[in-house]
Amino acid sequence: MKKIVILISGRGSNMQALLEAKLPCRVAAVISNRADAEGLNIAKAHGIPTAVVEHRDYPDRDSFDAALAKKINAFHPDFVLLAGFMRILTPNFVAHYHGRLLNIHPSLLPAYSGTNTHARALYDGVKIHGCTVHFVTPDLDHGPIIIQAAVPVIRDDTEQTLAARVLHEEHRIYPQAVRWLCQEQIKLGEQGKVVFRYRKQTGYTLVSPGVE
């Protein structure tokens, strides 16, 4: 059975969705860069080992990432999952876990990489927003895309209501991506694209607002 390590920085809602999804893999540990991350208590309640590598204890990103990698490697994971992990990782760290490092991002990448995605989407007046699971590369939030979910932007949406609608979909697609990965249904191909080994995709149109 494949082993995974989950990295968090805060409440860990995506981590909780992964823990509750009954995935065909074992969560070896949950690691945070903040000792006060709420998600650590959720992980402990699920019987998952936890660890903290405080980024503030290190003088620079390279030394923090080296310590983080050492802690991760102690659990010998097959895959490492970023679930609200609010640190930009160095190229050396990303290269070490090439093809084994996933992230969930609250936008339909490549649109709205970085932070404040919902506010930016509302400001631009887009009609469809969503979330993306992708392999992590040194190019921030631009790694090969595994799966996306789209939601309509409703006329009276606020940043909070839109974020809640997107988060619901995050909790659906992240476990699905990890399930595919652990079952070896997907991999990161040599050309830097996601390869689906056994799955056929169907096509349909998503329109928002709806066409009458």
pLDDT tens per residue, range 78-130: 999 999 999 999 999 999 999 999 999 999 999 999 999 999 999 999 999 99
Kindly report the pTM of this predicted structure. 0.94
pLDDT at residue 201 in the model:
67
pLDDT at residue 202 in the model:
67
Of 46, 96, 105, 129, the catalytic one is: 105
Domains of the chain: 1-97 (3.40.50.170), 107-212 (3.40.50.170)
**Is 118 noted as a catalytic residue in this protein?**
no
Instruction: Examine the pLDDT at 205 and tell me if it is beyond 80.
Output: no
DSSP string over the chain: -EEEEEEESSS-HHHHHHHTT--SEEEEEEEES-TT-HHHHHHHHTT--EEE--GGGSSSHHHHHHHHHHHHHTT--SEEEESS---PPPHHHHHHTTTTEEEEESSSTTTT-SS-HHHHHHHHT-SEEEEEEEE--SSTT-SPEEEEEEEEPPTT--HHHHHHHHHHHHHHHHHHHHHHHHTTSEEE-TTSSEEESSPPP------SSPP-
Q: Band the pLDDT of 200: cuts 50, 70, 90.
A: low
